[in-house]
Chains A and B, each alone.
Chain A
Amino acid sequence: MKKNYINPSLIIGAFLVIIFGFMLFTFQVREGEVAIRFSILNPVTDNDKAKVGPGIHPRLPWPVHDVHKFDERIQSSEWAFEETGTKDAQPILVKVFVTWKIDNALKFFQSFSGDKAKADDALQGKVRSAQNAVIGKYAFNNLVSTDKEELKLQIIEDEMKELVDAATESDGIEVIMVGIKRLGIPESVTGAVFERMKAERQAEIQKIEAEGERQAKTIKAEADLEANKILAQARAEAIQINGEAEAQAAKHYEVFKQNPELANFLFNRKALEGLLKENSTLILDPNTPPFNLLTQPGATKVAKP
């Protein structure tokens, strides 16, 4: 019987040993990472010698070689929304963030044991200090204003960056940007701002309503004026027409000159007729014609009061 020389258990075991050995004797550095390799045989103090770039690299197991890897990409840190005071003693809440990256891995390791959390903590104190120092130099309207000339936010950020740069010079990190992410006002002031905003709106309401009333009254007055003008003009024209009619009628009255006595009699008669309208009450003398007939002899009294 032919003996099987390939032992699968041996293959699996060899496979595991290879993987384990691979992990023990090599290390990978990803693109965007940087590593530093220390050796007890040849200690290094120069970053360029200790630094290892992306790729696979050989190593000996600890403690001969000690490898530490760091993220070399730009990182960002931000902290609490913190209250601070402006030059004119106005309280303001500021939230600042910092973007930074490791520019000297060896120094970074020496400063923070390579721990990003420790670096964050150290950076926080420096940024807060810079933030309060710089904002305290500027007035509130340098932070918030519709006047672009007054706004100094960029200058404030630049000054904060300068201070943080100086404070982190020996930490192995490069600060890329210090940015003001948010501005706010304390809760106690917020209520007052709300009230002021409401007062503004109330004033706006009054203004709008008053303006509305003004316009309405103006329109009505103008309408009345125009209507009165129209009527007055019409009345004037009517009087003129009436006068013209009088003039034309007078031409016809020339004929009355032929017998003024009769004309006057007729005008009187007409006037009398016009005056004695319905419901008039006449108290007449019985001698008035034709009632004088009643008083002639032989006539009977018609009624007694």
Chain B
Amino acid sequence: MEQQNSKKLGLINSIVLLVVTIGALYFTLQTSSPVGLGGVVLLGIGTLIGFFTFIQSHLIDRERVEALEMQELDRTRGNESLFAGAAEDAYPARNARRQFEKWVVPIFSVLVLIVQALGLLLVYGQLGGWTLSSSAQASDSAMPIMFFALFMVVLFMMGKYSAGLAKMDGQDLLRPGANYMLLGSVVCTAVVIAETASIEYPVWEKVFTWVVFVVIAVSALENLFTLVMEIYRPRLDDKKARLLYDSRLIGLLGQPGGLISTAANTLDYQFGFKVSETWFYKYLEQKLALIIAIQVVVLFLSSSFVVIQANEEAVKERFGKKRAKLTPGFQLKLPWPIDKVYRYKTGEIQEFVLGVLEQNDEAAPEVLLWTTQHNHGSSNDMIVANSDVLLDSASSDSVPVNLLTVSIPVQYRINNLDHWVYNTDNAISMLRKISMRQVTRYLIGVDINELMGPGRTTAQEELKKVIQQQANDMELGAEIVFVGLQDIHPPVGKNEQSKATGGVAENYEKVNVARLHSETNRLGALQYKAGRVPRAYGLAAELLAKARSESTNKVALAKAEAERFSHQISAFKAAPSVYKTRSKLETFQRATRGARKYILSDTENGDIINLELQDKLRSDLLDVTVDQGN
């Protein structure tokens, strides 16, 4: 009779679990609650196990009836040798139960494992895309909260009743379903708390979801371990096998009281005596709740102080209302949730970079060139005004702009914490936006050549000033410390057309090369000038010196010739013809010493006497002597 009641209860439990699972699924989809989804997975597994245990208990019940019938048959027919020790075939129900436990139970355990794995994937997916629930969704979750509370009560009551019955002999098939019901009740409680707290403490939902995720993961591992160990378990006829799909973990979590008795039994077994009966163990068991309570109180009190670091400041809110600004050091506060402290690094210089792309994992290049992409993307090129009249672009219809690759670090420090925290929802994002706005406004009105050249320092100061001004106007509570323009340059600008002429940045570099060539030309000319003029002075000096020398020579010679002439007159007067002849012949002899002379011996016949009175006119090849040393 008890068996019949147990079977009925098992069926009722399974149906209740099924209804609760469907209800929980419905409300989970409505609220998008990840912890609810975890609960659905657990309840679904519990439902499967519930129905399975019902089938198994039906087989056991059949076996029990069959055994009774066989006993009755034995008793009515006496000890007739024909039926004594009946063959196995005479017990079809027992055989069916054995075959069921041998084949179907392991297969079902594998099925449970697969469901657990799928459930894990499902819950993990929810955790991955988890976001804070907005307040608008809070009122929508009221109805689900109520139903989850109802599920919690129903599951707890039925689970507790079934768990109590399962402790009786022959009722252990009720235990797995009861465990899942009790754990389901705990998870429903978690859903209620998480959904209720989602307005104030949305992070709770994530914490609970992680807990449920871990529970499913560990029970899946336990299931896998049990399946593997089942292969090596010795089969003894008198040893009753444990249900493969009955998780000890789920049992412990569903009935935590069992944890203490399990631990006590383990200690007794390990030490060989009743550790659980020692005074210390009994004292610990009595005071465990007190110890936990003290722990909770200590934890609660630990939220009564805060240590603010030297580079920090904090605001203290009491029930959400701004109360005080906390300076560095040890500060007392009322415990959570009365006082809450929000800390900010007000002393620290912080930085964001405008125009820079997301950093990739690749190592930064050691050399940053205009001609290669670094930190920027072509889509980040910014418009800069153009006043270059070289090509008379103002008179054409082309877009009168240039593009510039920009990466501007902006460093700031919080200088008014109240403004920083309470004036904007995200002060950093706001500062970025207004900084970018000011950079854009500046660039569209400045000439690129001015910006790239002497105007860079001015631009840096001007940008810092206007960003600070805008931050002050918006009362952001930030002090702009530095605005850097070191990474502003022409875009790489390479495309199909630029294969021959190079990219934009390359052409900017070519301008520099042209400047260098030009300077080289100019310096070459200066070098020429530096040599040409002094050399001319030198030639001039030489000319003048020669002229002066010739002049001196001429005058001196004239004077000497005049003096000689005075003496020559005397000689001439003494013997005019002799003097002339002598003088002529002497002169002839002296003057023609090096001349080749031909004398026409016979003026009529043209005979010539060649007087070799001098050296040969020129040497020929045969006269060249070879150095013996060579």
Contacts and interface: CB of A to CB of B under 8 A. Distances in A.
Given A179-B437, A223-B528, A256 B596 contact: no
Contact of A286 (B422, B503, B599): B599
Contact of A62 (B142, B197, B426, B446): B142
B403 A197 contact: yes
A198 B585 contact: no
A198 B504 contact: yes
Contacts of A255: 562, 565-566
Contacts of B497: 191, 195
Nearest to A213: B521
Interface in A230-257: 230-231, 233-235, 237-239, 241-242, 244-246, 248-256
A114 B136 contact: yes
A55 B391 CA distance: 66
Contacts of B558: 248-253
B433 to A, nearest CB: 5
A133 interface: no
A304 B510 CA distance: 84
A56 B317 CA distance: 11
B555 A249 contact: yes
A145 B385 contact: yes
B271 to A, nearest CB: 27
A56 B583 contact: no
Interface stretch (A43-51, A120-128, A166-174, A272-280): A272-280
Contacts of B325: none
B332 to A, nearest CB: 20
A245 B556 CA distance: 9
B193 A20 contact: yes
B425 A75 contact: yes
B608 interface: yes
B578 interface: no
B587 A30 contact: no
Nearest to B444: A144
B403 A302 contact: no
A146 interface: yes
Given A76-B429, A198-B501, A305 B608 contact: yes
A181 B437 contact: yes
Contacts of B550: 241-242, 245
Interface in B422-477: 422-426, 429-430, 433-434, 436-437, 440-441, 444-447, 474
A140 B400 CA distance: 9
A263 interface: yes
- Tell me the dominant secondary structure on chain B's binding face: helix
A146 B385 contact: yes
A129 interface: no
A202 B501 contact: yes
A238 B543 contact: yes
Contacts of B139: 62, 66, 68
Contact of A217 (B319, B525, B559, B607): B525
B568 interface: yes
Contact of B321 (A55, A68, A191): A55
A69 interface: yes
B290 interface: yes
Nearest to A189: B399
A67 B200 CA distance: 11
B529 A220 contact: yes
Interface string B514-553: 1101111110111011001101110111011011101110
B608 to A, nearest CB: 5
A258 interface: yes
Contacts of B399: 90, 140, 185, 189, 192-193
Interface residues of B, number: 143
Interface string B484-511: 0000001101010110011110011011
Contact of B135 (A69, A204, A234, A254): A69
A23 B383 CA distance: 54
A265 B422 CA distance: 126
A209 B559 CA distance: 64
Interface in A161-218: 176-177, 179-185, 189-209, 211-213, 215-218
B614 to A, nearest CB: 9
Interface in B563-580: 565-566, 568-569, 572, 580
Contact of B528 (A56, A219, A290): A219
Contacts of B1: none
A140 B444 CA distance: 11
A114 B135 contact: yes
A266 B611 contact: no
A134 interface: no
B382 interface: yes
B504 A153 contact: no
A220 B445 contact: no
Contact of B383 (A144, A203, A207): A144
A155 interface: no
Contacts of B446: 146
Nearest to A302: B609
A235 B447 CA distance: 57
B71 interface: no
25 contacts: A28-B319, A28-B320, A55-B321, A63-B142, A74-B430, A75-B424, A113-B136, A114-B134, A114-B136, A180-B437, A183-B382, A191-B497, A194-B491, A194-B504, A204-B511, A211-B518, A216-B522, A228-B536, A245-B552, A248-B558, A262-B572, A278-B595, A280-B595, A281-B596, A305-B607
Closest 10 CB pairs of A and B: A212-B518, A234-B540, A245-B551, A227-B536, A238-B547, A249-B558, A56-B319, A223-B529, A8-B289, A219-B525
Given A194-B403, A204-B514, 7 more contacts: A97-B437, A144-B383, A202-B510, A219-B525, A223-B525, A251-B558, A290-B585
Interface of A: 7-9, 11-12, 15, 20, 22-24, 27-33, 54-56, 62-63, 66-71, 73-76, 78, 90, 97, 99, 113-117, 140-141, 143-146, 148, 151, 153, 176-177, 179-185, 189-209, 211-213, 215-220, 222-224, 226-228, 230-231, 233-235, 237-239, 241-242, 244-246, 248-256, 258-259, 262-263, 265-266, 269, 272-273, 275-286, 288-291, 294-295, 301-305
